[in-house]
Amino acid sequence: MSDSPFNPDEPTIGIADAIVFFGASGDLAYKKIFPALQAMVLRRDFDIPIIGVAFSNWTNEQLLQRARESVRKFYPSASDDDFARLAKLLRYVDGDYHKIETFDKLRVELGDAKIPMHYLAIPPSLFPTVIEGLAKSKCAVNARVIVEKPFGRDLQSARSLNRVLHAVFNEADIFRIDHYLGKEAVQNLVFFRFGNTFLEPIWNRHYVKSVQITLAENFGIAGRGKLYEETGVIRDVIQNHLLQVVGFLAMEPPTRTYADSMRDEQVKVFRMIRPLNGDNLVRGQFKGYRREEGVASHSQVETYAAVRLFIDSWRWEGVPFFIRAGKFLPHTVTEVLVELKRPPIAKFFPHLGNYVRFRLNPQLRIGIGARVKHAGEAWTGETVELSALKAKNSDEMDPYERLLGDAMDGEGILFTREDAVEAAWQIVQPVLGPSATPVFEYDQGTWGPREADLLVAEWGGWHTPAVES
């Protein structure tokens, strides 16, 4: 825990009975929040106020119109009747976040709600203002707060953000969304590891040669030039989403004796990862990035990064964990490949042989690579994959529905705790900033700069995720 002034009150207990979301006219609300609210209204059948707040000079009708468009586009299976159930609960508060009247209006809309939940879907620069408004207007009493990534842009700003939050909210009432933790496929990493007896004996430095995690996207920065200039791929997806994946792959089994054990194990992994340095990082930038709107003509911001991490633990000593992530790569795919060491007789095992592969996106698939003999006289073989494909079922929730529902219930396991945020920043902190390492250009549609191959050369090169139908 940091030494921030900690709210001494007890955490709230019970299910939230009002949902407030700031940034109601914004992009996140349009793409993710309205569809999640629609799903929640149908699944939970609740009857509580859902209040959108924005400073857009909108009317209630405009909010409803926006919600309707969003649900039509991103939750197309909802019928008109389904939407009517959401619309009945939606209210709108318009106002400047710097003015207390805005929060007084919100207080009135909250009525006799006992446990309001405030979702800050707004730029982090506005967090202090909104949190102060919530506190002064008493909207923060017995309340929960949800914040979106980025949780700061380095260790120092993350700490100051945590101080701002803790001045008003108890840590147990702060829900930091990393939507990767809401994904079924990511949760399944933990389940598959600890739900299968055959895995545990080999899940360590004695049997694992290396781990590779690829998050590839075949599109660019989609008009987010200004924002991307402030982030780059290390801050955008490595410090958060992909370190969470490393944490799930590497952690010790959580216990069942207390609820926060999984997050404790996750933080322990982050603390054992050696902070990055220039020898373990290759940064790239796709050709054309500097011509994007909002991007500096000499920008050194990376749109690709490959890193080699080492976890200084008993289990993982000497096993490299590689991560590569980038924009404008050949496909959109997220995949983990855990490669096992080869048996001592090389002829049974010439190249990539035994591995466990977790395809996380676009669909969950788990594959186990095994060697089998070719028919015939020769002792030659091939690698086949034993594969489990998990089709979506009707209980599957979109990450935002899952996470908003958990926050309503006060269930924090799938949210990033303060200590995890800070430990994750500590890992990338030494390589933040344009001068940390050179940035190499790469052609769009390729797997990034060639320089990144050197990082993995000793371990057999990058594994290229196959395109699957």
Cβ closest to ligand BG6, residue 107 vs residue 149: 149
Q: Applying CB under 6 A, does 184 fall inside the site for ligand BG6?
A: no
- Signed CA dihedral, 288, 292, 296, 301: sign only: negative
Catalytic residues: 241
213 or 319: whose CB is closer to ligand BG6?
213
Restricted to residues 197-226, the positions that interact with ligand BG6 (CB under 6 A) are 217
Of 217 and 302, which has the nearer Cβ to ligand BG6?
217
As a whole number of Å, the end-to-end CA separation of the chain is 45
In the complex with ligand BG6, which residue's Cβ is closer, 16 or 246? Answer: 246
Nearer Cβ to ligand BG6 (160/361): 361
Tell the smallest beta-carbon distance from residue 371 to ligand BG6 (Å). 32
Compute the 3-state secondary structure of the chain and give helix, strand, coil in percent, each to the nearest 5.
40, 20, 40
Reduce the DSSP state of residue 436 to 3 states and report it: coil
Chosen residue from 64, 165, 237, 340 binding ligand BG6 by CB under 6 A? 237
Q: Tokens 């995949």 identify what position?
A: 335
Query: How many Cβ atoms sit within 10 Å of the Cβ of residue 251?
Result: 25
Whose CA is closest to 217, among 237, 231, 235?
237
Q: Is residue 236 part of the contact set for ligand BG6 (CB under 6 A)?
A: yes
- The number of residues that bind ligand BG6 (CB under 6 A) is 5
Q: d(Cα 467, Cα 139) in Å, to the nearest integer?
A: 50
Smaller CB distance to ligand BG6: residue 217 or 418?
Answer: 217
Binding-site string for ligand BG6 from residue 301 to residue 340, where x marks contact by CB under 6 A and - marks none: ---------------------------------x------
| DSSP secondary structure of 293-341 | TT--TT----SEEEEEEEB-STTTTT-EEEEEEESS-SS-EEEEEEEEP
Q: Which residues pair with 355 in a beta bridge?
A: 339, 369
Specify whether the backbone of 322 is left (phi greater than 0), alpha (psi in -120 to 50) or beta. beta
Which residues, in sequence order, are CB contacts of 52 under 8 Å at separation 6+?
20, 21, 24, 25, 29, 63, 67, 90, 91, 92, 93
CB of 323 to ligand BG6, least distance (A): 14
User: Considering the rule CB under 6 A, would residue 121 count as an interface residue with ligand BG6?
Assistant: no
Q: Residue 433 Cβ, how far from ligand BG6 at the closest point, in Å?
A: 19
Q: How far is the CB of 205 from ligand BG6 (least distance, A)?
A: 29
For the bound state, the minimum distance from the C-beta of residue 334 to ligand BG6, rounded and expressed in Å, comes to: 6
Quote the least distance from Cβ 233 to ligand BG6, whole Å: 8
Q: How far is CA 208 from CA 288, 356, 366, 459, in A?
A: 39, 10, 17, 12
Residues in the chain: 469
Q: H/E element holding 389?
A: strand 381-389
Spatial separation of the C-alpha atoms in residues 122 and 111, rounded to whole Å: 24
Q: Is 361 in the site for ligand BG6 (CB under 6 A)?
A: yes
C-alpha 204/C-alpha 313 separation (Å) is 10
Task: Output the smallest distance, CB 468 to ligand BG6, in A.
Answer: 16
Kindly state whether residue 51 participates in binding ligand BG6, applying the rule CB under 6 A. no
Cβ proximity to ligand BG6, 32 vs 166, nearer residue: 32
- How far apart (Å, rounded) are the C-alpha atoms in residues 373 and 422? 49
Interface positions with ligand BG6 (CB under 6 A): 217, 236-237, 334, 361
